[in-house]
Structure 1
Amino acid sequence: MKIAVLSGKGGTGKTLVSVNLAAVAREAIYMDCDVEEPNGHLFFRPKNIKTEKVSVRIPYADETLCNGCRKCLDFCKFNALAFIINKPIVFDDVCHSCGGCVLLCPQKALSEREKIIGEVQRGVSENVAVITGILNTGETSGIPVIKKLLNDVPAEADLIFIDCPPGSACIVIESIKDADYCILVAEPTLFGVHNLNMVHELIRLFDKPHGVVLNKCLEGENPAEKFCMEKGIQILARIPFDKELGKLNSDALIAARENQRYRELFFSLLQTVTKEVGYETVTNP
């Protein structure tokens, strides 16, 4: 079962929730798809790390074969090709690696080469297999790295937690498309409601079963809670605005491994989510 954890912006508590859920499971895979700024590994501190590079195929132009027909330029909708001083130029940074220009070139002047854009790291932290996607600085799209993460999941994997990128862009869509359940993490502010509404609309487009975790809860009115009640969205758990939790998190410690109260909270959340999709998890809080 794949459980995706997402939020409308960074800093809401998405990694806090996904890391602690994986920690309280009997066995789990934690998959960090926030490839631009992955930080789950800072909490897990995985051992026996193995690294695999991720590459995409980029067109390469042979000037000696090109006759200047410019069919490749007309085809490319991303303006990744140009013809300057009778020479074909490829702009790697905006190429989407579709391969269409190579297939279309009548002179076979275009071929493809591998370009490394990031890597995937795999390690182990107690009961959790930690898989982290890392996009190289300056690359425009993390989708190939996310695809590599999701496509290489072991067939015997039982419980997978996907720490999604923040927001609702293409990389988020790629992260949740095969998820069995989505947890939306929200803050108790009007701005938090705006971001919650954004990801909620995305989840509804994909018709994914979902619920909300309210983080940083204080006494008094909670706009995010009011939004959930008005929209009929299930509130899965409420995490208090707590100094002890904040200190554990800032020290890159997993709260569920350090504090029994939070172990019980996240175990209860895990039980709630797994029962929602008819999956029974067995472990001891």
Structure 2
Amino acid sequence: MKIAVLSGKGGTGKTLVAVNIAAVAEKAVYVDCDVEEPNGYLFFTPELFDRKEVSVLIPVIDRSICTLCRKCIDFCNFNALACIANRMILFEEVCHSCGGCRIVCPVSAITEKEKVIGHIENGVSKNVIVKTGILNVGETSGIPIIRELMNENENDQRISVFDCPPGSACAVMESIRDADYCILVAEPTIFGIHNLNLVFELVKQFHKPHGVILNKCLEGENLAEQFCAENHIRILGRIPFHQEIGMMSSKGLILVRENETHRKFFVNLLNKVIEVIQNETITCP
């Protein structure tokens, strides 16, 4: 059972929700896909038991063989190759490691080498296996790390909670690829509506069952709640704008491990999601 937690921007409470859902499950895997700035481990402080580097393949050009035919340049949609002053140049930062340039080279002047772009740390925190993807500083794409996290978790039968990157770009798409359900976390402001709409449109495109957690709720008008009503989006729960929650989070405390009221809230939330997933499974042909 795979649950993805996402939001249109950072700072909405996405990690707060993901960490507490994982912590309240009997057995769970927390997967931090926000590889550019992972912070779930700050709450779990896991005892690490494994670390694995993640590499990609990048082209190596043998200029003594290269005939400067430019077929590799014409093939590359990402402009990672150029011919400057009769010399082939590779821009590693924009290479997507597709291997196409090697295939189209008519004289086999292009081979490939491994380049480490980051690593995955595996640890345990009480009932939760914590998997953290970490992108090396200066690297432009963490998608290969997210893909490796997904592959490692593919056959795990425990409840898996994917803490997605913020936004709605390619890294988020990769993070929700295998999700059975998506929880969208939103703030009750006009900007919150804009950001909620981004991820709402994304999960619709992927045909993922979804619901919304409204965070930082105050008394009175809630624009995000109105948006959900207008778009027939199920509201899974509301987290109040409360000093206690802010203080506990700032200290890296997991709410459900510290407070019974919060534990009951997230137990209820998890049960709602499980019920929807099970019903979806039953009704699918």
TM over 0.5: yes
In structure 1, the partner of 2:79 is: 79
1:110-259 correspondence runs (5 A): 110-153=110-153, 155-259=155-259
Q: Partners in 2 of 1:84 and 1:278 — Cα distance?
A: 58
Runs of 4+ off more than 6 Å: none
Amino acid at match of 1:22: A
In structure 2, the partner of 1:283 is: none
Unaligned runs of 5+ in 2: 280-285
Amino acid at match of 1:5: V
Residue 157 of structure 1 deviates from its aligned partner by 2.6
Task: Decide whether the 8 Å contact of 2:48 with 2:121 is kept in 1.
Answer: no
2:121 aligns to what SS in structure 1? strand
1:19 aligns with 2:4: no
Q: Partners in 2 of 1:85 and 1:239 — Cα distance?
A: 60
Q: Partners in 1 of 2:72 and 2:245 — Cα distance?
A: 56
Unaligned runs of 5+ in 1: 280-285
1:98-117 correspondence runs (5 A): 98-117=98-117
1:34 aligns with 2:26: no
Residue 48 of structure 1 deviates from its aligned partner by 2.7
Q: TM-score, normalised by structure 1?
A: 0.96
Superposed CA RMSD = 1.1
Q: Partners in 2 of 1:275 and 1:196 — Cα distance?
A: 23
Q: Partners in 1 of 2:46 and 2:241 — Cα distance?
A: 28
Task: Decide whether the 8 Å contact of 1:248 with 1:254 is kept in 2.
Answer: yes
From the superposition, tell whether residues 156 and 72 of structure 1 become closer, same or farther in structure 2 (CA, over 3 Å).
closer
Q: Partners in 1 of 2:156 and 2:132 — Cα distance?
A: 19
Q: Partners in 2 of 1:50 and 1:7 — Cα distance?
A: 29
Task: Decide whether the 8 Å contact of 2:3 with 2:161 is kept in 1.
Answer: yes
Give the aligned length.
279
Identity %, equivalent residues: 61
Q: Partners in 2 of 1:99 and 1:275 — Cα distance?
A: 43
Residue 49 of structure 1 deviates from its aligned partner by 3.5
1:69 aligns with 2:108: no
Task: Decide whether the 8 Å contact of 1:29 with 1:157 is kept in 2.
Answer: no
Q: TM-score, normalised by structure 2?
A: 0.96
Q: Partners in 1 of 2:84 and 2:5 — Cα distance?
A: 46
1:40-55 correspondence runs (5 A): 40-55=40-55
